[in-house]
Chains A and B, each alone.
Chain A
Amino acid sequence: MTDQTTPPRPRPAPEERPAPVDWATDWDHTHEAYAAAAPEIWDDLRGRCPVAHTDRFGGAWLPTSHQDVSAVAHDTTHFTSRSVIVSDFKPTAPAPVGFAPPITSDPPFHEFARRLLLPAFSPKAVRPLEATTRELCGGLIDTMLDGLAEGEDTVDVATAYSQHIPVQVIAHMLGVPPTDGDRFRVFIHRILEKPGQTGPTDTEDTMISYLEGVIADHRATPRDDLIGYLLDLEIEGRPLGDDHILGTVALLLIAGIDTTWSAIGASIWHLAQHPEHRRRLVEEPEVMPFAVEEMLRAYAPVTMARLVAEDVELGGQQLHKDDWVLLPFPSANRDPEAFDQPDEVVLDRERNRHAAFGLGIHRCLGSNLARMELRVALEEWVRRVPDFELADAEAVRWSTGQVRGPRQLPIRLLATRPGGPR
């Protein structure tokens, strides 16, 4: 706690971590070098050291095969979800509830917390949001095209398009102003990209403080949105605790935004480099549902973590209680033991048991929403911008941390179409 009576003294920013020399013994997923080459790193490790280790973060493991990732995800006895973000600080929040239920919860509380939310994210509950999302995507493309100066043909798709879509959809669902999107992105950057490495923050500027205000506002003025839904829920006749509500809203905000934004950006990055795939999506829109799953397989944005709850062996390594385990679902999706031609994007791949949304009891609660947003974002993009290419491959920058996607994505628009009726 900060002493409120004296002005806070600025602390120096934490030192930049040294670059890892060998990913098998010193990996660091928060390092730029990992962000730039993660798929190659996973392939290398899968071949020579399938469960890699690092002394960083107080000791952490990195399984890279589909079998090992799946085994950890399905084993809630030896692994706890008490924290799912690897950082230098191990959480003290007790299982089974955790800071952000249900993602940080273990059985048996997990199922209970999850069942409260499942109805709000089922395929049938998500369907009515499709029209709003489509309108939003069209509007973003209009704004982007209208903003181009005469003769200008290049846009940063990450900042002009992808990042706004999930932000505005979740703002709409939670019932907070869409203009708060910029603040959401700052919170998320601090939490996910450089956990514990961004220095001090003013209390009023934290996500927790922001959400306390939003929840208080919903209590004062009840309304029919997702926060209103949470406030109305009861456990054995009593409303959910304040911490439970705050943790759940925080989870929906964090989990719902740059994950989907990353998937949209990575898909457009791929299409920018594959004219045959762009053409196919324009000419055969019925391929889109398969293409969406293939993009999710090939460019799965999310890596989750566990803490070892009981000593256990994994892939020949001895894991000890309280070690971290990172679960790179995108690496599982590239394992040749589990997928034919794992390095190829096969747009209409028919056998695709990808793990982009995780495996086991913590399957991404928002997967139906994310899938819809990704499909609509790509449908609207290829409808309005049927031809495009990377403007500068060197300028593409991938995020660090446990959510992987392009954060800078300069795209040259080669053909555009006006909006209007579909």
Chain B
Amino acid sequence: MRIQYDRAACQGHNRCYLLAPELFDVDDEGYAILLVEGEVPTDLEGKARLAADNCPEYAITLEA
């Protein structure tokens, strides 16, 4: 599973950081920082799905 994060769409809702801190950090202003590049570690796929499914701005996309 591949993950992408659109910084321009992010409005700092911070749902991803709350649900998947292994995959997302936040900067000092509360905007997300994607911690992995491209491929999601297999054991974190569930969390990646949660982060994507709870982003109100559709800023996170997954590809199987």
Do the beta carbons of A119 and B28 come within 8 Å of each other?
yes
Across the interface, which residues of A come within 8 angstroms of B14, CB to CB? 123, 367-368
Query: A48 an interface residue at 8 Å Cβ cutoff?
Result: no
Kindly identify, within residues 1 to 49 of chain B, every residue whose CB is under 8 Å from any CB belonging to chain A. 11-15, 17-19, 26-30
Across the interface, which residues of A come within 8 angstroms of B58, CB to CB? 353
Determine which of A118, A123, A293, A357 lies in contact with B17 in the assembled complex, contact meaning CB atoms within 8 Å: A123
Determine which of B13, B26, B30, B50 lies in contact with A350 in the assembled complex, contact meaning CB atoms within 8 Å: B50
Across the interface, which residues of B come within 8 angstroms of A353, CB to CB? 53-56, 58
Binary contact readout A290-317 vs B (1 if CB under 8 angstroms, 0 otherwise): 0001000000000000000000000000
Do the beta carbons of B57 and A121 come within 8 Å of each other?
no
Across the interface, which residues of B come within 8 angstroms of A271, CB to CB? none
Do the beta carbons of B11 and A363 come within 8 Å of each other?
yes
Instruction: Give chain A nearest CB distance to B33 CB in angstroms.
Output: 12
Interface residues on A, range: 20 to 34
The answer for the CA separation of A357 and B53 in the assembled complex, in Å, is 16
Across the interface, which residues of B come within 8 angstroms of A118, CB to CB? 12, 28-30
Do the beta carbons of A115 and B57 come within 8 Å of each other?
no
Query: A273 an interface residue at 8 Å Cβ cutoff?
Result: no
The answer for the CA separation of A363 and B30 in the assembled complex, in Å, is 12
Across the interface, which residues of A come within 8 angstroms of B18, CB to CB? 123, 289, 371
Query: A124 an interface residue at 8 Å Cβ cutoff?
Result: yes
Q: Which residue of A lies closest to B13 (CB)?
A: A363
Instruction: Give chain A nearest CB distance to B40 CB in angstroms.
Output: 17
Determine which of B12, B27, B28, B54 lies in contact with A293 in the assembled complex, contact meaning CB atoms within 8 Å: B54
SS class, residues of chain A in contact with chain B: helix
Given A352-B53, A360-B11, A368:B29 Cβ within 8 A: no
Do the beta carbons of A123 and B11 come within 8 Å of each other?
no
Across the interface, which residues of B come within 8 angstroms of A352, CB to CB? 53-54
The answer for the CA separation of A355 and B58 in the assembled complex, in Å, is 12
Across the interface, which residues of A come within 8 angstroms of B54, CB to CB? 293, 351-353
Do the beta carbons of B26 and A124 come within 8 Å of each other?
yes
Q: Which residue of A lies closest to B31 (CB)?
A: A118
Kindly identify, within residues 347 to 390 of chain A, every residue whose CB is under 8 Å from any CB belonging to chain B. 350-355, 357, 359-361, 363, 367-368, 371
Across the interface, which residues of B come within 8 angstroms of A351, CB to CB? 53-54
Across the interface, which residues of B come within 8 angstroms of A123, CB to CB? 14, 17-18, 26, 30
Q: Which residue of B lies closest to A364 (CB)?
A: B13
Chain B: how many interface residues by the 8 Å CB criterion?
A: 20
Determine which of B11, B13, B28 lies in contact with A122 in the assembled complex, contact meaning CB atoms within 8 Å: B28
Kindly identify, within residues 104 to 149 of chain A, every residue whose CB is under 8 Å from any CB belonging to chain B. 115, 118-119, 121-124
Determine which of B13, B19, B27, B50 lies in contact with A367 in the assembled complex, contact meaning CB atoms within 8 Å: B13
Instruction: Give chain A nearest CB distance to B10 CB in angstroms.
Output: 10
Q: Which residue of B lies closest to A289 (CB)?
A: B18
Q: Which residue of B lies closest to A292 (CB)?
A: B18
Instruction: Give chain B nearest CB distance to A168 CB in angstroms.
Output: 23
Across the interface, which residues of A come within 8 angstroms of B56, CB to CB? 353-355, 357, 359, 363
Do the beta carbons of A359 and B12 come within 8 Å of each other?
no
Do the beta carbons of B57 and A359 come within 8 Å of each other?
yes
The answer for the CA separation of A350 and B50 in the assembled complex, in Å, is 7
Instruction: Give chain B nearest CB distance to A290 CB in angstroms.
Output: 9
The answer for the CA separation of A402 and B29 in the assembled complex, in Å, is 27
The answer for the CA separation of A119 and B31 in the assembled complex, in Å, is 10
Across the interface, which residues of B come within 8 angstroms of A371, CB to CB? 18
Do the beta carbons of B12 and A363 come within 8 Å of each other?
yes
Binary contact readout A270-293 vs B (1 if CB under 8 angstroms, 0 otherwise): 000000000000000000010001
Q: Which residue of A lies closest to B58 (CB)?
A: A353
Across the interface, which residues of A come within 8 angstroms of B28, CB to CB? 118-119, 122, 124
A: which residues have CB within 8 A of B? Answer: 115, 118-119, 121-124, 289, 293, 350-355, 357, 359-361, 363, 367-368, 371
B: which residues have CB within 8 A of A? Answer: 11-15, 17-19, 26-30, 50, 53-58
Known pairs A118-B28, A367-B13 / 13 extra A-B pairs, C-beta < 8 Å: A119-B28, A122-B26, A122-B29, A122-B30, A123-B14, A124-B26, A293-B15, A353-B54, A353-B55, A360-B11, A363-B12, A363-B13, A363-B56
Q: List 6 tightest A-B contacts by C-beta distance, closest first.
A: A118-B29, A122-B30, A363-B11, A351-B53, A353-B56, A119-B28
A–B Cβ pairs within 8 angstroms, 13 of them: A119-B28, A121-B30, A122-B28, A123-B30, A352-B54, A353-B53, A353-B54, A354-B56, A359-B56, A359-B57, A363-B11, A363-B12, A363-B13
